[in-house]
Amino acid sequence: MDGTATMTRSRPARRVLAVLAAQALSLAATAALACDAPSASRPAAGGTPVRVPLGPGDVGVLPEGCEATEASLETRAAVLVATSDLYGSLQAGVGLRGRAVVAERTWISLWAPSLEYRFVANATVEADRASLGGGVVGAHHRIGLGERASVAPFARLLLPTETGFARAARWGGEHGVVATARVRERLEVVGGFAFSLVSVVNGGRTLSVLGETLSADVVYRPWRAFGIAGGTALRLALADARPLESFDPRLALRFYPVRGLFVVLGGAVPLGGRDRTNLGLALSIGWQG
């Protein structure tokens, strides 16, 4: 009689344990690796922060944190309207960008010198200029931190290909780390930091700017063909008396019409600091293998 009662009382406990085990297995099944290959529900590799460059050749904007081979057409625009100073400017550019996996978890990146246009105006004078922008080459390697997180150190070099300087050349470089954490199959967090040094050399004179970027974004893909990413970036000029360059809230809408093809529209609104740009926009159209 006592044995029968004990078995009866243990059945609800077993049911509870079975339910908890099933939930744990379901959670494990829906949790993806930090840099899984593209799948039916996720058509592009993860680890991609919001990319709205406000500097030459993407310097100061975190690259992707996951390996992939891709090529894209990149367009950029920035608008500044300072009514109190009777001044305004418009910058726009278009260029080619790509990256290629060269070894396990290792890839190289390239930003080809872009075509750029700038228009400025004040109360009495207007001027415009078309020029060639800076090219950038980089090297990246990803290090796994468990199944759902990884970090990717990188280094990039800004080449002096710009033609907008009359008798000067601009060099630069940066290094940093991008971290990726997969929270769920359709949700991830991407962030990191980068240090940059950009120098304009004019004969025997050199003007250098040492900068730091801190960035964090949340990426959500509710459907296979659409994703949304939002976050912030903090840009600093470390050696300046006024170190705050800007605080940049930003948003990107990502579309994947067919597997491999992506279209990304992003925007950033710099707030505070020395950068008085009102709005930065970026449009990327490309293919990921």
Residue 5, pLDDT above cutoff 60: no
CB 224 within 8 A of CB 41: yes
Residue 169, pLDDT above cutoff 60: yes
What confidence tier does 27 reach under pLDDT thresholds 50, 70, 90?
very low
Asked whether residue 76 falls in the same domain as residue 194, the answer is yes
Asked whether residue 70 falls in the same domain as residue 87, the answer is yes
| Alpha carbon distance 92, 237 (integer Å) | 24
Asked whether residue 231 falls in the same domain as residue 273, the answer is yes
Cα→Cα distances 103→22, 99, 108, Å: 38, 12, 10
Residue 241, pLDDT above cutoff 70: yes
Q: Give mean pLDDT, residues 103-122.
A: 93
Cβ burial 159-186 (10 Å sphere, 16+ → b, else e): bebbeeeeebebbbbbbbebbbbbeeeb
Asked whether residue 87 falls in the same domain as residue 22, the answer is no
Asked whether residue 9 falls in the same domain as residue 92, the answer is no
Asked whether residue 16 falls in the same domain as residue 36, the answer is no
pLDDT tens for residues 187-202? 999 999 999 999 999 8
- Considering only residues 203 and 94, tell me which one the structure prediction assigns the higher pLDDT: 94
| Alpha carbon distance 261, 12 (integer Å) | 51
Give me the number of domains the chain comprises. 2
Ranges 40-44, 155-159, 209-213, 219-223: which has the least confidence = 40-44
Average pLDDT, the chain: 86
Asked whether residue 157 falls in the same domain as residue 44, the answer is yes
Asked whether residue 6 falls in the same domain as residue 46, the answer is no
Task: Supply the CATH number for residue 220's domain.
Answer: 2.40.128.130
Asked whether residue 113 falls in the same domain as residue 178, the answer is yes
Q: Which residues contact 240 (CB under 8 A, 6 or more apart)?
A: 209, 274
Asked whether residue 64 falls in the same domain as residue 10, the answer is no
What confidence tier does 18 reach under pLDDT thresholds 50, 70, 90?
low
Structural domain span for residue 13: 1-30
What confidence tier does 259 reach under pLDDT thresholds 50, 70, 90?
confident
The residue count for the chain: 289
What confidence tier does 208 reach under pLDDT thresholds 50, 70, 90?
confident
Asked whether residue 73 falls in the same domain as residue 4, the answer is no
Residue 229, pLDDT above cutoff 70: yes
Q: Write down the pTM of the prediction.
A: 0.83
pLDDT tens for residues 58-85? 888 999 999 999 999 999 999 999 887 8
Asked whether residue 79 falls in the same domain as residue 220, the answer is yes
